[in-house]
Structure 1
């Protein structure tokens, strides 16, 4: 009877453990959704082994968990290494581990989730803008020292707007303030800030622009890390100063602005000097100028007294007389030398004149000599060059005659 019950309960189609595991593996690993799936959760534990990193990913409330593995060949490609306590977004596929009858997520990529994801996007955008040179120091312009018109971009309902007005009016009465309202929190904030900046530029009166907001959480200040806002500030034709958040916060808008401080009040204090401080500085300059003039006068008087004492000791009148006598003697010497050289030059000139006169052909002819020239103008030097009947020109000391050869004697 026992045999009959066993035969009726256990069918002939019963699977082995291996067969069942293979079937489960087929169902899980061939499912198109599970072959490439994104999963978000918190890393509850992580252990390194020789083959890779094994960790557990669970929901924050602990209601569900899944085992994960990132093999060594994939670890270097992960954007974020899983560490216990971190929120991650995991990309992977479901794999079955037959020896233990377990399934696990084989990880291809791990990204920060929540605040971590925002930090990653912030760093990526910052690196890209940094490579473009938007944060370079040479791009930054100096703020005008005494602006008369200042534009403010912030929320009309924010305490920052009231703080800025109060500070500017207290420090520099009579200042012209242009207010360009904008939303500084939420999804609409980046576009609103960009339009507010464009309004200020179109108006054309402002000499400096304050972009401001009070403190807030990372999410509330996210609009100041928006690429549209950063590029609008970089392209703004007016010098920009930011007063966003508190000292611990640093936005991309701060990095691209020409100047940045940590509060709206500090921004207002930076763009204009206090009249009381200017008056104090003026009085200090007046006092310093008086002291400088007095010191210069006393120094000049001391130098004059010193020179007078030196003159009295040197007996300048005697020195002048000695120098005058010396100059007279040198003048006499110069005249004597000049007259001697002039006489020598005259004698040499007369000698040269006499030599020149003795060599002058006309002087020779004056003594009875003559110059005989042929018809072509050449001087006749030998009788053999002449022929009977040839006409010759004879130059005498005074005048010329033309003769004809009647006989040639060699």
Structure 2
């Protein structure tokens, strides 16, 4: 028996080496198209930073399965989510076999948050993109009409929100025309249903304002209001849109792009139309304010009129005119006196200047017997030493001129 058993386990000639088996396994894994680029979701159970990269284990706690993963240092800065023990992530990588250890592991290219974290990441990415396009800019916001007569409402026909809105509108502003465009506001079909409801309202063309609403719910139930299709439909709507979605919470993308947003369906209905009671009270208050202003102006005018009457009684108009005429006559006389005085002084000054001028006149000096001696070139002779014997001179007298010739000079 021993010999027979041993013979059954004789090594055949077709046995392969460990290296050959490992190469074959690596070929099967690394050449598989699906394993070359595969997304895997799991929970990080362990992580170890090494000088060449980050080594961690991704496990499925429910199924009891695990796989080893590595992110090389060159790829670490590119990860959108760092693997942290206890957190669930989604990784993108390719399968690799390491012959030295006889192990296989995922070489990770990218890691994303899973579950709620992934939804938050997608929400933030979409929000950043829409904000960069300017869809949330305040200047895009339109004012709601003050007294709309036709209002469109989009919500679920079976939801409490629809009943709340109808009740509020009819109570606050009876006689309104409400256009109801039903839509699914929860689930996978919700985005397309809401977009179609908005398009129906626009095609109708009668509504002056649009209410998009639903009651409160879990974050997952309100996901349709963060759908890009719904956000763009609201942004491109030709009618002013107000949203009343859920209760106190973070804003949805539809809230950010709408012309106005409030936290409940009832609040949306209250914002769209004023209450008739409030309008009546405001009207009465305006009448009261106007009467007070008119009465105040009348009282002021009457006081001013009475003041003028009292002034006229104290000072008759003809007496005031007479006083003004006397004042003008007195000013005229003062002006004539001042003018006459200035003219007399001017004539006296002129005569004095004339006498001085006559005194300085050279002809008057000549009339008194003096003479002016000039050389032939017209230069006045002042020194006998400047003359020469035989030089002709011109002598100007008081009456006429004579020519003379120098026959002798004396010092």
Q: Confirm or deny a common fold (TM above 0.5).
A: yes
Q: Deviations over 1:151-188 (max 9, x none)?
A: 10111111110010011111111221111111222232
Give the stretch that moved more between structures: 269-278 or 287-296: 287-296
Q: Counterpart of 2:132? A: 131
1:49-88 mapped onto 2 (5 Å cutoff): 49-88=50-89
Give the stretch that moved more between structures: 305-314 or 108-117: 305-314
1:65, CA displacement in angstroms?
Answer: 1.1
1:119, CA displacement in angstroms?
Answer: 2.6
Q: Counterpart of 1:280? A: 281
Q: What is the RMSD computed on CA atoms of the aligned residues?
A: 4.0
Q: Counterpart of 1:134 in 2: which secondary structure?
A: coil
Give the stretch that moved more between structures: 83-92 or 169-178: 83-92
Q: Counterpart of 1:262? A: 263
Q: Counterpart of 1:225? A: 226
Q: Counterpart of 1:34 in 2: which secondary structure?
A: helix
TM-score by length of 1: 0.69
Q: Deviations over 1:105-143 (max 9, x none)?
A: 110111233333333332222222212211111011011
Q: Counterpart of 1:34? A: 35
In structure 2, relative to structure 1, the CA distance for the partners of 1:24 and 1:276 (3 Å cut) is same
Distance 2:310 2:52 in 1: 98
Distance 1:145 1:44 in 2: 59
Distance 2:58 2:316 in 1: 106
1:264, CA displacement in angstroms?
Answer: 0.6
Q: Counterpart of 1:367? A: none
Distance 2:136 2:268 in 1: 19
Distance 2:127 2:334 in 1: 88
Q: Counterpart of 1:193? A: 194
Distance 2:317 2:56 in 1: 103
Give the stretch that moved more between structures: 311-320 or 294-303: 311-320
1:284, CA displacement in angstroms?
Answer: 3.5
Distance 2:239 2:128 in 1: 25
Flag structure 2 segments of 5+ consecutive residues without an equivalent.
340-411
Q: Counterpart of 1:61 in 2: which secondary structure?
A: coil
Q: Counterpart of 2:343? A: none
1:30, CA displacement in angstroms?
Answer: 4.4
In structure 2, relative to structure 1, the CA distance for the partners of 1:331 and 1:275 (3 Å cut) is same
1:81, CA displacement in angstroms?
Answer: 2.0
Distance 1:316 1:69 in 2: 110
Give the stretch that moved more between structures: 194-203 or 329-338: 329-338
1:321-400 mapped onto 2 (5 Å cutoff): 323-330=324-331
Q: Does 1:164 align with 2:186?
A: no
Q: Counterpart of 1:403? A: none
Q: Counterpart of 2:387? A: none
Distance 1:83 1:138 in 2: 43
Flag structure 1 segments of 5+ consecutive residues without an equivalent.
339-410
Q: Does 1:106 align with 2:107?
A: yes
Give the stretch that moved more between structures: 300-309 or 149-158: 300-309
Q: Counterpart of 2:174 in 1: which secondary structure?
A: coil
Give the stretch that moved more between structures: 215-224 or 157-166: 215-224
TM-score by length of 2: 0.69
